[in-house]
């Protein structure tokens, strides 16, 4: 049952073949049996999930009209505020904090009767590409427990790949949904910036952060996308427009006549051979399905990474200033006679990890008087140029595509002391955030050299998210018929087999 | 102190700059829906947004934007078609986010002016104070430092934080430097703040109560040698909580600067705190090392781009400037300037105007509000506006006196009754049985009784010593419980004693 898709689970729930309580319990059991190895979860809300499931079953028994995903369980990235449930963002500084309010995403999940199993592990404050920066220990990739599950949302993607949950919520600032999806053989979508409310998403970089759906199929992602998206008056940057018809697009999977632009700059040198091979193969399948493949150029993408590492740290240096031990979270050094300043300093010293401190320092510097124009100011100009590159590319193609990341999952610890090598992982995903457009990663197979999942990235213009779902569904269908079974069937068996 | 003010202005030219912070009177805070009511229990008017809980986001209070645009229009500013909020980053325990959402290089209103008139040796003279910018920001929370000598964070035993004020909408109005005021700098500063206060009150956008901090003024002062183009170092005086203090603070700083400069010493660029009791300032935070607030555009808020048609609509609704309005009233009522000022200071001008509009004589209306009613408000320690007496009541009382149905003294009892909640003037009159004693027979009886009791005094009057009549009139009034017309009593008394 737990290996089904969310859509299949929903159908069984509607047909009365299974109850939400049974489905939820099955996932809780799975978590209990495999999560000591995977460590996808930071908090499992057994009681809350079962209570929610029971309430949904009762509603269904009464014949109430329920939403498409009602009763299906989900794993929530620990960066999302959920009322009464520990929310740590993978950081010591928020240890023990229970929000007194629900984020809009959580409110939407509850409104749609999606059962929240618990909170998933992540790089501290979403800063990282491996989940190794969690203060609570790394998450392990279900394909190979010695490897990283991607980051920052490694917990969410690992939970999907380990069948601990059929759906998950991620957040994507520079690739934190898509890169974990790529290296775990799952699907992850970063919607258009403003498509999903950021209210209650603990901010890393406000102008880049975007919550989105994670799943094992394109259709499941689309169903979750529609459940969480929509205008929110509590988020000033939320777009006041109808939600793109992503479920319809995912169901049709029609790419006939669509122009698919291959971004010249996001391929070639630095990309693993197996990654490139799977990418080429996917392009052929899309062409066979009736799409026209064209090449486009985005000359300013080469500055994207550098600009990102000025903008994101700048915003984070300000966003994370509120963690000062005054109102919530960790408090260190509060002894008789200690000043507020020393308590703030000690708490931040103890509460933040190395990568978070690195970025706070970097951002503080970049915003400083005398450096602002050269750093933050220039980075914003690059951002405009990247947006312009996308605009011209979208004039030639309906969607753009690239490999999601240059390599497959690396070993835990392999890049922990080389931040630049770590940052390079996001070279193909970052431009999407810089321009605020939509991006999806879906599995395109295993790399020949290491038998590890490879991700295929699809990018669509602002509020044209349905396009990436059309292309994603078409490619997924073509690959499934080529493989004969979902890619995750090739993943090693966890837990019980051990 | 060796220097006189005249010495200072003989040698130096003062350069003024004024920054005024105004708390808007919106019902909710700048970036969340919390109430803004003053004086609530600490930390009861807070939410995830103004407490800066993780994940909370600000959204802009449209009413605050409207009020700010109105202020800009009333100050003759241009309204920017596109402006942005910015983050001003610094750590302080009463600032929940450890950054303040403000506006930096893209404020909503720019380039305005306010004309103020002051009395000079040569008669009334107008000065133009140019406004550089008007921008929006949020207030911080309040810290209460307990223990320690200074009431400041350093040396305190502990501190209490109240976040009710965090996020209250503030508008900051910054002038350009005001040169050319010469010795009138203190008066110009006061006149500007006063004019500004009136304009804001007229717009209805703020309580503008300096003593409660809903209007706060920082006075920047520097001196330059007369004839020189070189600006001096400025000091920034805070804690100036009344119009009189504005004037005193500027004058005091001019003298302090001049003393330093004359001794060949240097003025330190710093914040200074005005001391209400001494009229002097004390040194605060040094600004020699420019603080780095790391401003950058607030990514959580979309830019403010007010619709041009809406701005025009607001412009059409801006009321007549209070100073012009006052001039008009002063002429119409034929009131001396001093009396006008008294009404403004007592905050009764609007009420008097409303009373006059209901048919009352301007002089009578003014004297009721400024006299008896002000006194009763003081006695009760409340604002005149909070008393249960309206312009309609006062107009009715004035009419009753005119008709001879009440004496001034009886009218005072009626006023008291209305304020005590006994009803309209007519109701008070009837409930209390107040009526003028018009019966000469009854008055004469009282006069005879009083003259018999105070035969010695009566004799003096009979002999032509008229001032002695006062005591007898008083006694008669007392005898008739104040319900007699004093003028009639006098007439009858003097007749009775052969002095008519």
Window from A34-43, A400-409, B317-326 with minimum mean pLDDT:
B317-326
pLDDT at residue A495 greater than cutoff 80: no
Could you write out the DSSP letters of every residue in B295-342? Answer: -EE-TTSPPB---HHHHHHHHHTPPPPHHHHHHHHHHHHT--HHHHHH
Q: Which residues of B touch A326 (CB under 8 A)?
A: 93, 96, 161
List pLDDT tens digits, range B14-28.
999 999 999 999 999
Interface of B with A (CB under 8 A): 48, 51-60, 87, 89, 91, 93, 96-99, 153-154, 159, 161, 290, 292, 294-296, 299-302
Domain count, chain B: 3
Mean pLDDT of B223-227: 93
Q: Are A157 and A180 in contact (CB under 8 A)?
A: yes
Q: Which residues of B touch A317 (CB under 8 A)?
A: 89, 294
B181 and B244 both lie in a single domain: yes
Q: Spell out the alpha helix ranges (H) of A78-153.
A: 104-111
pLDDT at residue A498 greater than cutoff 70: no
Q: Are A185 and A223 in contact (CB under 8 A)?
A: no
Contact B55 A200 (CB under 8 A): yes
List pLDDT tens digits, range B405-432.
888 888 998 999 999 989 999 899 888 8
Q: Are A86 and A96 in contact (CB under 8 A)?
A: yes
List pLDDT tens digits, range B35-62.
999 889 999 999 999 999 999 999 999 9
Residues 6+ apart with CB under 8 A from A416: A130, A132, A422
Q: Which residues of B touch A200 (CB under 8 A)?
A: 55-56
Contact B53 A101 (CB under 8 A): yes
B35 and B118 both lie in a single domain: yes
Mutation choice for A interface testing from B31, B57, B300 by most A CBs within 10 A: B57
Q: Is A240 on the interface with B (CB under 8 A)?
A: no
Q: How far is A75 from chain B (nearest CA, A)?
A: 18
CA B380, B385, B387, B389 dihedral sign is: positive
Greater confidence (A199 vs B453) lies with: A199
> Is the residue at B317 inside a domain?
no
Count residue pairs from A and B with Cβ separation < 8 A.
104
Q: Are B193 and B237 in contact (CB under 8 A)?
A: no
B244 and B391 both lie in a single domain: no
Q: Which of B500, B498, B432 has the alpha carbon at shortest distance from B488?
A: B500
Contact B299 A207 (CB under 8 A): yes
Q: Which of A422, A446, A424, A440 has the alpha carbon at shortest distance from A143?
A: A446
pLDDT at residue B148 greater than cutoff 80: no
d(CA B94, CA B151) in angstroms, rounded, equals 15
The 10 Å Cβ neighbour count of residue A327 is 18
d(CA B200, CA B192) in angstroms, rounded, equals 12
Q: How far is A335 from chain B (nearest CA, A)?
A: 12
Give me the residue spans of the domains in chain A: 6-302+382-497
B11 and B116 both lie in a single domain: yes
3-class secondary-structure state, position B224: strand
B305 and B379 both lie in a single domain: no
Greater confidence (B386 vs A392) lies with: A392
Query: What pLDDT score was predicted for residue B360?
Result: 92
Band of pLDDT at residue B1, cut at 50, 70 and 90: low
Closest alpha carbon within chain A to B33? A234
Contact B299 A237 (CB under 8 A): yes
Which CATH number among 3.30.70.3270, 1.20.1090.10, 3.40.190.10, 3.90.1300.10 corresponds to the domain A6-302+382-497?
Answer: 3.90.1300.10
pTM of the model: 0.86
Query: What pLDDT score was predicted for residue A474?
Result: 98
Q: Is A364 on the interface with B (CB under 8 A)?
A: yes
B408, B432, B456 — which closes off a domain? B432
Query: What pLDDT score was predicted for residue B157?
Result: 82
What does pLDDT average to over chain A?
96
Band of pLDDT at residue B346, cut at 50, 70 and 90: confident
d(CA B247, CA B260) in angstroms, rounded, equals 20
B302 and B393 both lie in a single domain: no
Query: What pLDDT score was predicted for residue A353?
Result: 98
d(CA B320, CA B343) in angstroms, rounded, equals 19
Q: Are A214 and A172 in contact (CB under 8 A)?
A: no
For B59, which of A94, A236, A314 is closest by C-beta distance? A236
> Is the residue at B357 inside a domain?
yes
pLDDT at residue A6 greater than cutoff 90: yes
d(CA A359, CA A320) in angstroms, rounded, equals 10
List pLDDT tens digits, range A262-276.
999 998 888 999 999
Residues 6+ apart with CB under 8 A from A404: A175, A178, A179, A181, A182, A428, A429, A441, A454, A455, A456, A457
Q: How far is A249 from chain B (nearest CA, A)?
A: 30
d(CA A369, CA A82) in angstroms, rounded, equals 38
> Is the residue at B315 inside a domain?
no
pLDDT at residue B163 greater than cutoff 90: yes
Q: CA angle, A350 as apex, A349 and A353 as ends, to 5°?
A: 85
Mean pLDDT of A439-448: 98
> Is the residue at B316 inside a domain?
no
User: Using the 8-state DSSP alphabet, how is residue B28 labeled?
Assistant: B
B409 and B457 both lie in a single domain: no
Query: What pLDDT score was predicted for residue A284?
Result: 98
Mean pLDDT of B325-336: 89
Query: What pLDDT score was predicted for residue A496?
Result: 52
3-class secondary-structure state, position A333: coil
pLDDT at residue A324 greater than cutoff 50: yes
d(CA B434, CA B428) in angstroms, rounded, equals 8
d(CA B350, CA B368) in angstroms, rounded, equals 14
Q: Which residues of A touch B93 (CB under 8 A)?
A: 324, 326, 340, 344
d(CA A108, CA A200) in angstroms, rounded, equals 12
Mutation choice for B interface testing from A105, A106, A107, A234 by most B CBs within 10 A: A234
3-class secondary-structure state, position B202: helix
* Longest pairwise C-alpha distance within chain A: 73
B53 and B199 both lie in a single domain: yes
B46 and B90 both lie in a single domain: yes
pLDDT at residue A497 greater than cutoff 60: no
**Torsions phi, psi for B12 (to 5 deg):** -120, 155
pLDDT at residue A29 greater than cutoff 90: yes
Contact B54 A202 (CB under 8 A): yes
List pLDDT tens digits, range B270-311.
999 998 888 889 888 777 677 899 999 999 999 999 999 999
Mean pLDDT of B149-170: 85
Contact A99 B58 (CB under 8 A): no
Mean pLDDT of A454-481: 98
Contact B89 A326 (CB under 8 A): no
What does pLDDT average to over chain B?
91
B378, B403, B432 — which closes off a domain? B432
> Is the residue at B162 inside a domain?
yes
B247 and B358 both lie in a single domain: no
List pLDDT tens digits, range A186-215.
999 999 999 999 999 999 999 999 999 999
pLDDT at residue A10 greater than cutoff 50: yes
B264, B287, B310 — which closes off a domain? B310
Band of pLDDT at residue B206, cut at 50, 70 and 90: very high
For A234, which of B57, B97, B98 is closest by C-beta distance? B57
Window from A145-159, A322-336, B336-350 with minimum mean pLDDT:
B336-350
Mutation choice for B interface testing from A321, A341, A347 by most B CBs within 10 A: A321
Q: Which residues of A are catalytic?
A: 77, 152, 176
ipTM: 0.96
CA A9, A14, A20, A22 dihedral sign is: negative
CA B460, B466, B468, B474 dihedral sign is: positive
pLDDT at residue A397 greater than cutoff 80: yes
Contact B296 A314 (CB under 8 A): yes
**Torsions phi, psi for A73 (to 5 deg):** -80, 160
Interhelix angle B391-402/B425-432, nearest 10 degrees: 60
Q: Are A38 and A158 in contact (CB under 8 A)?
A: yes
Q: Are A186 and A163 in contact (CB under 8 A)?
A: no
Band of pLDDT at residue B441, cut at 50, 70 and 90: confident
Q: Which domain holds residue B477?
A: 440-496
Mean pLDDT of B79-106: 96
Mean pLDDT of B109-129: 94
3-class secondary-structure state, position B6: helix
Mean pLDDT of A334-356: 93
B130 and B272 both lie in a single domain: yes
Closest alpha carbon within chain A to B54? A202
B213 and B261 both lie in a single domain: yes
Q: Which residues of A touch B292 (CB under 8 A)?
A: 368-369
Which span out of A17-31, A412-426, B134-148 was modeled with the highest average pLDDT?
Answer: A17-31
d(CA A123, CA A137) in angstroms, rounded, equals 9
CA B77, B83, B89, B94 dihedral sign is: positive
Cis bond upstream, residue A152 (ω within 30): yes
Q: Is A234 on the interface with B (CB under 8 A)?
A: yes
Contact A100 B48 (CB under 8 A): yes
Contact A340 B159 (CB under 8 A): yes
């Amino acid at each position: 049952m737990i290996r089904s898709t969310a859509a299949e689970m929903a159908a069984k729930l509607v047909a009365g073949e299974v109850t939400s309580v049974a489905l939820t319990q099955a996932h809780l059991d799975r978590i209990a049996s495999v999560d000591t190895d995977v460590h996808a979860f930071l908090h499992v809300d057994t009681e809350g999930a079962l209570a929610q499931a029971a309430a949904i079953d009762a509603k269904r028994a009464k014949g109430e009209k329920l939403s498409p995903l009602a009763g299906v369980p989900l794993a929530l990235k620990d960066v999302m505020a959920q009322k009464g449930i520990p929310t740590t963002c993978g950081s010591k500084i928020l240890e023990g904090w229970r929000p007194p309010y629900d984020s809009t995403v959580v409110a939407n999940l509850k409104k749609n009767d999606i059962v929240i199993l618990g909170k998933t592990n992540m790089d501290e404050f979403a800063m990282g590409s491996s989940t190794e920066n969690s203060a609570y220990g790394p998450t392990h990739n279900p394909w190979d427990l010695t490897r990283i599950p991607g980051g920052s949302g490694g917990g969410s993607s690992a939970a999907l790949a380990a069948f601990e949950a059929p759906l998950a919520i991620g957040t994507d600032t520079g690739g934190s949904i898509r890169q974990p999806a790529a290296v775990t053989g799952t699907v992850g979508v970063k919607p258009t910036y403003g498509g999903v409310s950021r209210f209650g998403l603990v901010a890393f970089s406000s102008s880049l952060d975007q919550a989105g759906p994670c799943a094992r199929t394109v259709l499941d992602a689309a169903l979750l996308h529609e459940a969480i998206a929509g205008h929110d008056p509590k988020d000033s940057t939320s777009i006041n427009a109808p939600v793109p018809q992503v479920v319809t697009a995912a169901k049709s999977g029609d790419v006939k006549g669509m122009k698919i632009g291959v971004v010249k700059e996001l391929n070639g040198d630095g990309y693993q051979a197996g990654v490139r091979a799977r990418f080429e193969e996917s392009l052929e399948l899309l062409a066979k399905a009736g799409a026209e493949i064209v090449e486009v150029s985005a000359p300013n993408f080469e500055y994207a990474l550098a600009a990102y590492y000025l903008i994101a740290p700048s915003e984070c240096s300000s966003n994370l200033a509120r963690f000062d031990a005054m109102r919530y979270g960790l408090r260190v050094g509060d002894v008789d006679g200690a000043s507020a300043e020393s308590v703030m300093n000690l708490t931040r010293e103890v509460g933040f990890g190395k990568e978070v401190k690195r970025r706070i320092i970097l951002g503080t510097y970049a915003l400083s008087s005398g450096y602002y124009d050269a750093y933050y100011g220039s980075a914003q100009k690059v951002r405009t140029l990247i947006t312009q590159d996308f605009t011209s590319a979208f004039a030639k193609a309906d969607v753009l595509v690239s490999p999601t990341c240059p390599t497959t999952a690396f070993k835990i610890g392999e890049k922990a002391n080389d931040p630049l090598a770590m940052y390079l992982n996001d070279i193909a995903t970052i431009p999407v955030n810089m321009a605020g457009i939509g991006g999806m990663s879906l599995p395109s197979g295993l790399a020949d050299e290491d038998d590890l999942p490879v991700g295929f990235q699809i990018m669509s213009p602002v509020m044209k998210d349905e396009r990436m779902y059309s292309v994603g569904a078409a490619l997924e269908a073509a690959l499934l018929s080529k493989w004969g079974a979902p890619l995750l069937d090739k993943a090693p068996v966890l837990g019980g087999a051990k | 102190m060796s220097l006189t003010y005249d010495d200072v202005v003989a040698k130096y030219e003062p350069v003024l700059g004024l920054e005024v912070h105004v708390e808007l009177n919106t019902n909710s805070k700048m970036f969340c829906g919390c109430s803004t009511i003053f004086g609530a229990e600490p930390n009861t008017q807070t939410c995830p947004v103004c407490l800066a809980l993780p994940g909370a986001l600000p959204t802009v209070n449209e009413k605050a934007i409207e009020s700010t645009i109105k202020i800009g229009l009333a100050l003759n500013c241009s309204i920017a078609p596109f402006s942005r909020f910015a983050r001003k980053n610094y750590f302080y325990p009463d600032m929940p986010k450890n950054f303040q959402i403000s506006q930096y290089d893209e404020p909503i209103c720019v380039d305005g002016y306010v004309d103020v008139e002051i009395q000079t040796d040569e008669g009334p003279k107008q000065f133009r104070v140019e406004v550089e910018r008007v921008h929006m920001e949020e207030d911080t929370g309040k810290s209460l430092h307990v223990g320690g000598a200074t009431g400041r964070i350093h040396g305190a035993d502990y501190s209490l934080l109240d976040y009710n004020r965090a996020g209250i909408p503030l508008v900051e109005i910054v002038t350009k430097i005001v040169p050319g005021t010469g010795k009138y700098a203190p008066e110009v500063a006061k006149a500007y703040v006063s004019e500004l206060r009136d304009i804001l009150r007229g717009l209805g956008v703020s309580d503008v109560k300096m003593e409660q901090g809903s209007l706060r003024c920082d006075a920047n002062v520097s001196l330059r040698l007369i004839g020189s183009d070189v600006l001096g170092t400025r000091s920034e005086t805070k804690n100036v909580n009344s119009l009189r203090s504005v004037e005193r603070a500027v004058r005091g700083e001019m003298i302090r600067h001049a003393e330093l400069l004359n001794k060949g010493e240097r003025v330190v660029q710093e914040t200074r705190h005005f001391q209400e009791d001494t009229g002097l300032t004390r040194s605060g935070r040094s600004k020699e090392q420019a603080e780095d607030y790391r401003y950058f555009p607030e990514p959580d808020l979309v830019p403010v781009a007010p619709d041009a048609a809406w701005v025009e609509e607001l412009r059409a609704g801006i009321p007549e400037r209070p100073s012009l309005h006052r001039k008009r009233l002063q002429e119409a009522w034929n009131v001396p300037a001093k009396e006008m000022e008294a009404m403004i200071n007592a905050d009764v001008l609007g009420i008097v105007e409303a009373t006059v509009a209901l048919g009352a004589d301007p002089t009578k209306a003014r004297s009721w509000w400024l006299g008896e009613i002000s006194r009763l408000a003081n006695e009760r320690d409340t604002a005149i506006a909070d008393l249960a007496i309206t312009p309609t009541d006062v107009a009715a009382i004035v009419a009753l006196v005119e008709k001879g149905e009440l004496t001034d003294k009886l009218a005072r009892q009626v006023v008291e009754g209305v304020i005590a909640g006994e009803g309209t003037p007519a109701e008070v009159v009837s409930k209390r049985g107040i009526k003028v004693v018009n019966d000469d027979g009854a008055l004469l009886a009282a006069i005879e009784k009083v003259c018999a009791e105070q035969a010695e005094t009566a004799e003096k009057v009979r002999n032509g010593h008229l001032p002695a009549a006062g005591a007898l009139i008083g006694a008669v009034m007392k005898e008739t419980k104040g319900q007699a017309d004093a003028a009639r009593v006098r007439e009858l008394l003097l007749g009775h004693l052969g002095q008519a």
